[in-house]
Amino acid sequence: MAENKVESLRGTLIVSCQALEHEPLHSSFIMGRMALAAKEGGAYGIRANTKEDIKEIQSQVDLPIIGIVKRDYADSEVYITPTMKEVEELMEVQPEIIALDATGTLRPQGVKLDDFFRQLKEKYPDQLWMADCSTVEEAFHADALGFDFIGTTMVGYTPQSKGDKIEADDFKILREIVAGVKHRVIAEGNINTPQKAKRVIELGAFSVVVGSIITRPQLITKTFSEALEN
C-alpha cells in the first residue's frame, strides 16, 4: 500500500515542513497548514519531524510523508532518527517512509548503522526506509544494506563532507550516486531554486525535497535583508 502511494512521488516535489523548538513557526498546527499550502502549490509529498507534526499533517493532506525525529544525544553526533525510540514514535503515526542518518558516524551508545538497520528490518519488515547520506561512499553502502531510498540530505553537514555542495559541478555527487546505486535516489539539500529542482530530476533523481526556501520565512527574509544591507 505504502509502496503504491510513494510511486506518485516519481519526478515530483516533496516539501519539507519542519520548525524546531527555537524557531518562530514551531507548532504542529502551523506545520499542518504549511503542508496544506504546499499541496495547494503542487507538492506531491511532505517531509516532517515528530509524530505530533505528522499526525496533524495527516489530518490536513493525503500525501505520502517522509517521517523523521530529530533528537540530540550526548554521546553521538547523529540526530536524525538516531535510535529505536524515535522509530517507534514514528510507527505510531505510520509515515509511508522513515528517514534516518545513514552516515558512518556511530549512533548513541556506539551502535553502528549496519546493526541498527538490521534491527529495523527485522522488527518492521514492511516499512520503507530512506538513508540520509553525506558522501557517495555512504550512499553506496546504504544501497548495499537495502535502504529503499537513498538521499543526499547530509552532504556538507558532516566532517567527512565538509565543504561539499550538492549543486557543485552540475550536481556531480548526485550524478555519481544515481549511476552507482540500484535503489531510488531522492535529491535533498540546498536545492533552493526551481531550476535546481528541475535539474536534479533531469539527472535521474526519483524525487526532490525542498525545505527552507519554501517553509522557513525567517531564512527567506534574511536573503532579502542581507541583499539590501550589502
Domain boundaries, the chain: 2-229
**pLDDT digits (tens), the chain, 230 positions:** 677 889 999 999 999 999 999 999 999 999 999 999 999 999 999 999 999 999 999 999 999 999 999 999 999 999 999 999 999 999 999 999 999 999 999 999 999 999 999 999 999 999 999 999 999 999 999 999 999 999 999 999 999 999 999 999 999 999 999 999 999 999 999 999 999 999 999 999 999 999 999 999 999 999 999 999 97
Q: Looking at the DSSP assignment, which residues form a beta bridge with residue 210?
A: 15
Distance (Å, rounded) from C-alpha 32 to C-alpha 65?
Answer: 12
Q: 156, 165 in Cβ contact below 8 A?
A: yes
Q: Retrieve residue 102's grid coordinates.
A: 545513514
Distance (Å, rounded) from C-alpha 105 to C-alpha 56?
Answer: 32
Return the pLDDT at 55. Answer: 98
Return the pLDDT at 3. Answer: 78
Distance (Å, rounded) from C-alpha 77 to C-alpha 37?
Answer: 33
Closest by Cα among 31, 47, 79 to 186: 47
Closest by Cα among 188, 166, 206 to 6: 206
Return the pLDDT at 1. Answer: 60
Return the pLDDT at 67. Answer: 98
Return the pLDDT at 216. Answer: 96
Amino acid at 119: Q
pTM (predicted TM-score): 0.96
Name the 3-class secondary structure at 228. Answer: helix
Q: Retrieve residue 135's grid coordinates.
A: 558522501
Angle at which helix 194-202 crosses helix 168-180, to 10 degrees, equals 30
* Range 2-229 classified under CATH 3.40.1190.20: no
Closest by Cα among 227, 24, 57, 207 to 68: 57
Burial 140-165 (b: 16+ CB within 10 A, else e): bbbbebebbbbbbbbbbbbeebeebe
Please tell me the number of Cα atoms within 13 Å of 195 on its side-chain side: 2
Report residue 207: phi and psi, to 5°: -155, 170
Q: 9, 204 in Cβ contact below 8 A?
A: no
Distance (Å, rounded) from C-alpha 18 to C-alpha 228?
Answer: 27
